[in-house]
Amino acid sequence: MEKKVTDFSGKWTMKSSERFEELLKALGVNIVTRKIAAAAASSPTVEVSQQGESLSIRTSTSIRTTLVSFTVGQTFSETTVDGRPCTSFPTWETDRKIVCEQTLQKGDGPKTSWSRELTNDGRMILTMTAGDVVCTRTYERQ
């Protein structure tokens, strides 16, 4: 019997964001780019399609749209929030939380990771880390 995994599917609207600019700063993003990115990323729409352990996450802002597809438990290539290529490895930390460690493909920088968790009240919490800076974004299903 397959274990029941949480279904993240749906359209999500961001309700709050903490420390996003600090996260970009920790990644070495210059102030002009940080301000533009923070403004554009202030109201992203996130669409998640999920079939079992395979997820596709489309994040749309006024500046760009990113699409990442992966299967939990398998490495995949993506880019860090500041645009550097990395190899990512997502795993289930709990039955409601996916954590993903990122390894830069070249160069160095702070250690980065992200997680997505569904709360009991139906919110999705996206946590992004760069070194010791943690950014938390809360989304609600539309």
Query: Residue 32 class from Cβ within 10 Å (0-12 exposed, 13-18 middle, 19+ buried)?
Result: exposed
- The CATH code of the domain that includes 51 is 2.40.128.20
CB 23 within 8 A of CB 81: yes
pLDDT at site 3 = 58
The total domain count for the chain is: 1
pLDDT at site 1 = 44
pLDDT at site 132 = 96
Residue 5 placed within a domain = no
> What is the domain extent for residue 111?
10-141
Please, what are the averages of pLDDT over each run of 10 residues along the chain (142 residues)? 78 95 94 86 91 96 90 96 93 96 92 96 97 97 95
Q: Give DSSP secondary structure letters for 95-108.
A: TTEEEEEEEESSS-
